[in-house]
């Protein structure tokens, strides 16, 4: 049994599509900084390719979570920063490789004018709760 409770549609709130409105749990909080499409040597992965960048970002998230003793099963919140909302299908596809539809976290997606470097198309940060 999971240590997290997901509430996709609280009373009086429109049902969520592609995320849960509320995720709660008891345990240790893990905060993962926004991850970019950089390989382990700091090189850009997927210049101009939102799909390749999203896959690298989710791999970096997986590695960061693992370093804290967490997995995607422990993620309660994802925040997406994209330079164009047209990149969201690629982000969702990369997310689907790590998070099945029955374990979606709370989420926010924000279109931004730019990220730290112009070649980055997206950045994703995560909050997780690891069972005590």
Q: pTM of the entire structure?
A: 0.93
Measured CA to CA in angstroms, residue 88 lies from 37, 80, 119 at distances of 15, 9, 17
Give the count of domains, the chain.
1
Residue 12 falls within a domain, yes or no?
no
Residue 76 falls within a domain, yes or no?
yes
Residue 77 falls within a domain, yes or no?
yes
Cα distance between residue 39 and residue 86, in whole Å: 24
Cα 43–Cα 49–Cα 51 angle in degrees, nearest 5:
100
pLDDT exceeds 80 at position 80: yes
By residue range, what is the domain housing residue 65?
20-130
Residue 33 CB contacts under 8 Å (≥ 6 apart), including other chains: 64, 125
Residue 8 falls within a domain, yes or no?
no
**Mean pLDDT for the stretch of residues 104-128:** 97
- Reported as a pLDDT band with limits 50, 70 and 90, residue 102 is confident
Residue 72, phi then psi, degrees to nearest 5: -65, -25
What is the DSSP pairing of strand 4-7 with strand 22-25?
antiparallel
Residue 11 falls within a domain, yes or no?
no
- Length of the chain counted residue by residue: 132
pLDDT exceeds 60 at position 1: no
5-50 per-position pLDDT tens digit: 888 889 999 988 888 889 988 899 999 999 999 999 999 999 999 9
């Amino acid at each position: 049994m999971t240590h997290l409770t997901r509430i996709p549609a609280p009373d009086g709130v429109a049902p969520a599509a592609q995320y849960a409105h509320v995720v709660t749990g008891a345990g240790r909080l893990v905060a993962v900084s926004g991850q970019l499409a950089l390989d382990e040597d700091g090189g850009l992965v997927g210049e101009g390719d939102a799909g390749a960048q999203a896959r690298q970002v989710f791999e970096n998230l997986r590695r960061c979570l693992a370093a804290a003793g967490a997995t995607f099963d422990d993620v309660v919140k994802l925040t997406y920063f994209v330079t164009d909302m047209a990149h969201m299908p690629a982000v969702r596809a990369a997310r689907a490789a790590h998070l099945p539809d029955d374990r979606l976290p709370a989420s926010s997606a924000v279109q931004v004018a730019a990220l730290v470097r112009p070649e980055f198309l997206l950045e994703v940060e995560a909050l997780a709760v690891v069972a005590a």
